[in-house]
């Protein structure tokens, strides 16, 4: 194996050198001696550079594995082999297989200490490394100032570790940085104000840490994702220009101002204004005052007109749970009129925890184990303003603005003849499972007439919207991201099928609108286990028919259709054409390439891997349920495709 493959050859320098020698008056022997010595020196230098990269990588991983590098994932990481040629686990190189571009060390069971200097102090490595993924390990330690040497970094993902200490202001030296995810760690200190100087930063996720101080004045317009919730930030929130909602700032008790509901004390407001305006004369202030007053009046008038217009489109909590489905009309009532006009009475509603609800199962809101809503009461749900999000085959869905600034989603299921006890058992069984890519219900309500489920609202919409909508994110939904989404979903489903095989609880209604994207743009499977009768699909004619293996095979079919959406970029039903039938007919005619989404073709996604993924999708949508693979098998096949992609030379992340 060549040890000179990581770095570019020095042929250009040599040519120049030789031509100079030829033109000089030295005799031939001298020329050759000098030439050989030079080649020897260059080769020596090249191999010492390669050795430096290798030893940096090996030392880095050794520290993260507490010197157990030879136990498992990192067996191939040896100084006797080449990281690119020998395909070290987690290492992705450039197109010529010469320099290390990306390190994917996420979810790799790393428990040691982060020593970023071991990577960034190696100049050849720091000069090529653009992506570093270390999320979802148990890495401790701090980010040291040497991070600044990794100048080429575009993505730094450290989410879900035990990292602590302050964030060094040298982070701001990473001028190419696009995504910084330090969420779910134990970072303290302040968020360096200098970070706002990185103009290309589009994702900053710092939620669930203990970071203090004020939020720097970022240009929030540049951000696609921003979240600093659940920290110790204080003071006024800088102007986010309506670009982010309260959700991104919740859980910081001393933070105030828009978009949070709590206003800042006037002294802080003054401070904020002073800081942002610099020198302002009293005349300007007076003029601004008049202007603000005028605008406020104008805004109030527009708001009043808007409210009137919206009146018929918005329903409040009481309407949604009690009155909607009978006549399918959407009404808005005031809080005072929220007494029930069908089904419930006030005496029925009281919050109960899972432990003490046994006698109240049919009349109370049952809170599940997620602490986010441990104060939620049924009355709160009824009182809160709500907006109809959709009315699907199986019920209606409402976005509810809960009073603490949090947005919830309430699913009202219709025509489900499950007994209250079975429903409760099912919800508790589902609550007992935990997978980061499955959205768990927060609470539920069950009576003879009503079944309600409460979920957290997901701000980034669904996979359906991402694929077929017009959002900015759709433009960056490239081939690598699509494979990642497919793998995550398949693993989540495989986990759920495995855990719930004995209970016969499948998803039952898997489709791209039920795949939601969380704040990290990771897919979350929503509405798992709400299997409702579908008289038209497969052979199911009752809820019971949807249990057993057929229900799981139906999920596999649904997953296959989602894969087809990812590959073709087309809707499941469009102009009377069924996507699965269309793809099958095109493949039969041997025009396979015609099925692929044009945007994938134009980004030069690997045809080989697209065809591989298509083959998996077609297996899943086989007409015969028995011939479909299990989700475990699907997850394994997709992981192989992902690994091949990571090893590949084509990548849209290349800087």
Ligand X SMILES: Nc1ncnc2c1ncn2[C@@H]1O[C@H](COP(=O)(O)OP(=O)(O)OP(=O)(O)O)[C@@H](O)[C@H]1O
Please state the φ and ψ torsions of residue 384, each to the nearest 5 degrees: -70, 145
List the one residue from 17, 35, 340, 457 that touches ligand X (CB under 6 A).
457
Site string for ligand X, 57-86 (x = CB under 6 A): ------------------------------
Does 416 contact ligand X by CB under 6 A?
no
The residue of the chain with the least Cβ separation from ligand X equals 392
Select from 37-45, 187-195, 249-257, 394-402 the region that touches ligand X (CB under 6 A): 394-402
Nearer to ligand X, 114 or 397 (CB): 397
Q: Does 110 bind ligand X (CB under 6 A)?
A: no
Task: List the one residue from 390, 432, 469, 655 that touches ligand X (CB under 6 A).
Answer: 390
The distance of closest approach from Cβ of residue 455 to ligand X in the complex, given in angstroms and rounded to an integer, is 4
- Do 485 and 512 contact (CB within 8 A), yes or no? no
409 contacts ligand X (rule: CB under 6 A): yes
Question: What is the distance, to the nearest Å, from the Cα of residue 72 to the centroid of all Cα atoms in its chain?
Answer: 28
Taking the complex as a whole, the smallest distance from the CB of residue 510 to ligand X amounts, in Å, to 10
* Binding residue for ligand X, selected from 509, 520, 540, 568, defined by CB under 6 A: 509
φ, ψ of residue 506 to 5 degrees: the values are: -100, 180
Token pair of 68 as six digits:
């157990």
Is residue 223 near ligand X by the rule CB under 6 A?
Answer: no
Q: Which of 423, 400, 395, 420 is nearest to 410 (CA)?
A: 400
455 binding ligand X? (CB under 6 A): yes
DSSP for residue 209: S
Q: Whose structure tokens read 């007494």?
A: 339
Task: Find residue 385's DSSP bridge partners.
Answer: 316
The per-residue DSSP string of 108-133 comes to S---SB--THHHHTSHHHHTT--EEE
- What distance in Å separates the CA atoms of residue 358 and residue 360, rounded to the nearest whole number? 6
Q: Which is nearer to ligand X, 513 or 630 (CB)?
A: 513
Q: Is residue 143 within 8 Å of residue 114, measured between CB atoms?
A: yes
Size of the site for ligand X (CB under 6 A): 18
The backbone torsions φ and ψ at residue 438, rounded to the nearest 5 degrees and listed phi first, read: -125, 125
Cβ at position 640, least distance to ligand X in Å: 30
> d(Cα 230, Cα 216) in Å, to the nearest integer?
16
List Cβ neighbours of 450 (8 Å cut-off, separation of 6 or more). Answer: 321, 343, 344, 412
Q: Which of 458, 481, 592, 599 is in the footprint of ligand X by CB under 6 A?
A: 458
What is the distance between the alpha carbons of residues 239 and 257, in angstroms, rounded to a whole number? 9
Query: Alpha-carbon torsion 352, 353, 355, 361, what sign?
Result: positive
- Which element (helix H / strand E) includes 574? strand 573-574
Please, what is the minimum distance in Å from the beta carbon of residue 553 to ligand X?
19
Tell me if 411 is assigned to a ligand binding site.
yes
The interface region with ligand X, picked from 176-184, 446-454, 484-492, 510-518 by CB under 6 A, is: 510-518
Question: Is residue 205 a contact partner of residue 520, using CB atoms and an 8 Å limit?
Answer: yes
Q: Which of 114, 191, 397, 533 binds ligand X (CB under 6 A)?
A: 397
Binder to ligand X among 514, 540, 568, 651 (CB under 6 A)?
514
Stretch that binds ligand X, among 7-15, 451-459, 546-554, 564-572 (CB under 6 A): 451-459
Contacts with ligand X, 537-576, as mask; x by CB under 6 A? ----------------------------------------
Q: Which residues are annotated as a binding site for ATP?
A: 411
As annotated, the binding site includes: 411
Q: Give me the residues that bind ligand X (CB under 6 A), please.
A: 389-390, 392-395, 397, 409, 455, 457-458, 462, 509, 513-514, 516, 526-527
């Amino acid at each position: 194996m060549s040890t000179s493959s990581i770095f570019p050859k020095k042929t250009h320098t040599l040519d120049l050198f030789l031509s100079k020698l030829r033109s000089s008056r030295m005799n031939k022997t001298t020329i050759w001696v000098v030439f050989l010595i030079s080649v020897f020196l260059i080769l020596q230098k090249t191999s010492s550079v390669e050795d430096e990269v290798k030893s940096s990588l090996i030392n880095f991983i050794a520290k993260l594995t507490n010197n157990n590098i030879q136990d498992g994932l990192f067996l191939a990481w040896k100084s006797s082999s080449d990281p690119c040629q020998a395909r070290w686990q987690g290492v992705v190189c450039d197109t010529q297989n010469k320099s290390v571009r990306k390190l994917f060390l996420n979810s790799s069971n790393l428990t040691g200490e982060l020593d970023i200097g071991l990577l960034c102090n190696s100049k050849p490595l720091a000069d090529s490394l653009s992506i570093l993924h270390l999320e979802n390990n148990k890495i401790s330690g701090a980010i040291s100032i040497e991070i600044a040497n990794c100048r080429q970094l575009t993505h730094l993902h450290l989410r879900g570790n035990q990292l602590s200490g302050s964030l060094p202001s040298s982070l701001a030296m990473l001028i190419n940085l696009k995504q910084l995810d330090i969420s779910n760690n134990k970072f303290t200190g302040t968020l360096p104000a200098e970070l706002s100087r990185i103009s290309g930063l589009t994702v900053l996720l710092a939620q669930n840490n203990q970071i203090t101080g004020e939020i720097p004045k970022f240009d929030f317009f540049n951000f696609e994702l921003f979240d600093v919730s659940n920290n110790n930030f204080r003071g006024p929130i800088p102007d986010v220009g309506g670009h982010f909602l309260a959700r991104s700032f919740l859980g910081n008790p001393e933070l105030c101002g828009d978009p949070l509901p709590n206003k800042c004390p006037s002294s802080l407001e003054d401070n904020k204004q002073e800081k942002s305006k610099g020198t302002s004369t009293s005349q300007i202030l007076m003029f601004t005052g008049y202007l603000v007053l005028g605008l406020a009046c104008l805004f109030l008038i527009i708001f009043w007109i808007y409210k009137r217009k919206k009146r018929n489109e918005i329903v409040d909590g009481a309407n949604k749970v009690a009155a909607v489905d009978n006549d399918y009309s959407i009404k808005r009532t005031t809080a005072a009129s929220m007494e029930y006009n069908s089904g419930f009475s006030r005496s029925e509603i009281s919050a109960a925890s899972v432990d003490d609800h046994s006698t109240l199962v049919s009349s109370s809101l049952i809170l599940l184990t997620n602490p986010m809503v441990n104060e939620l009461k049924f009355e709160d749900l009824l009182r809160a303003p709500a907006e109809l999000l959709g009315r699907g085959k199986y019920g209606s869905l409402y976005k509810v603005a809960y009073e603490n600034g949090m947005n919830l989603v309430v699913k009202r299921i219709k025509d489900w003849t499950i007994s209250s006890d079975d429903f409760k058992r099912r919800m508790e069984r589902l609550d007992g499972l935990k997978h980061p890519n499955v959205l768990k219900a927060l609470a539920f309500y069950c009576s003879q007439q009503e079944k309600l489920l409460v979920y957290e609202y997901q701000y980034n919409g669904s996979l359906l919207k991402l694929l077929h909508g017009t959002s900015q994110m759709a433009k960056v939904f490239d081939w690598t991201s699509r494979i990642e989404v497919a793998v995550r979903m398949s693993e989540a489903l495989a986990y759920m099928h495995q855990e719930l095989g004995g209970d016969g609880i499948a998803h039952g209604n898997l489709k791209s609108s039920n795949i939601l994207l969380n704040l990290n743009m990771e897919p979350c499977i929503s509405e798992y286990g709400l299997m409702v009768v579908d008289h038209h699909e497969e052979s199911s004619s009752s809820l019971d028919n949807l249990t057993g293996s057929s229900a799981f095979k139906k999920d596999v079919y649904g997953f296959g259709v989602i894969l087809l959406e990812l590959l073709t970029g087309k809707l499941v039903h469009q102009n009377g054409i069924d996507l699965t039938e269309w793809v099958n007919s095109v493949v039969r005619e041997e025009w396979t390439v015609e099925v692929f989404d044009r945007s994938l073709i134009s980004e030069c996604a690997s045809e080989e891997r697209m065809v591989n993924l298509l083959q998996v999708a077609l297996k899943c949508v086989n007409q015969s349920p028995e011939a479909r693979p299990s989700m475990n098998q699907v997850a394994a096949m997709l992981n192989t495709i992902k690994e091949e992609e990571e090893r590949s030379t084509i990548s849209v992340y290349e800087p």
